[in-house]
């Protein structure tokens, strides 16, 4: 991956909607009275955010989620709006891998959480069955 792919993806308003948090928790078999640490990963699937993350990536490659890590500085609250800042950075030594670095802040600008996801790009043309 070229260094030119290191970029600010954007700033997005996201909300911890209680009904969506509940659905997430129900799917994982956990209580839904608080926002789980991993819930913000679901924001990356939102159409506008996913499109921004895909911008500039090879269209003939599939993104494969490899790992994730989280740092909670303060708990997220249900039915609150936050600011999600995203950065995409190439992974060292891997031409087809990158990191998504994210930070969530409240509307006053207080940092609430940071997380990182490692993504590997796999060519859709590769045939692993041979």
Output the pTM of the full model. Answer: 0.83
**What mean pLDDT, rounded, does the chain reach?**
87
Minimum mean pLDDT range among 28-37, 86-95, 112-121: 86-95
Q: How many alpha carbons lie under 13 Å from residue 36 in its C-beta half-sphere?
A: 17
Q: How confident is the model at residue 56 (pLDDT cuts 50, 70, 90)?
A: confident
Order of strands, sheet of 7-15, starting from the edge strand that comes earlier in the sequence:
7-15, 81-90, 97-105, 111-123, 61-72
Q: How far is CA 92 from CA 1, 6, 99, in A?
A: 10, 12, 10
Among 42, 34, 57, 56, smallest CA distance to 102 is for 42
User: All domains of the chain, ordered by start, with CATH?
Assistant: 3-123 (3.10.129.10)
For residue 91, give the DSSP letter.
Answer: P
What is the rounded distance in angstroms from the CA atom of residue 29 to the CA atom of residue 58? Answer: 36
Residue listed under structure tokens 């249900």: 78
Minimum mean pLDDT range among 6-15, 41-50, 78-87, 89-98: 89-98
128: left (phi over 0), alpha (psi -120 to 50) or beta: alpha
């Amino acid at each position: 991956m070229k260094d030119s792919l290191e970029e600010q993806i954007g700033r997005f308003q996201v909300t911890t909607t209680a009904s969506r948090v509940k659905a997430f928790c129900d799917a994982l078999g956990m209580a839904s009275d608080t926002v789980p640490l991993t819930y913000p990963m679901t924001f990356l699937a939102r159409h506008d955010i996913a499109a921004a993350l895909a911008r500039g990536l090879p269209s003939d490659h599939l993104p494969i989620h490899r790992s994730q890590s989280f740092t909670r500085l303060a708990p997220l609250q249900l039915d609150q709006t936050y600011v999600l800042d995203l950065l995409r950075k190439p992974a060292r030594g891997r031409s087809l891998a990158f990191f998504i670095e994210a930070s969530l802040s409240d509307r006053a600008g207080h940092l609430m959480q940071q997380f990182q996801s490692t993504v590997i790009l796999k060519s859709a043309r590769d045939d692993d069955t041979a």
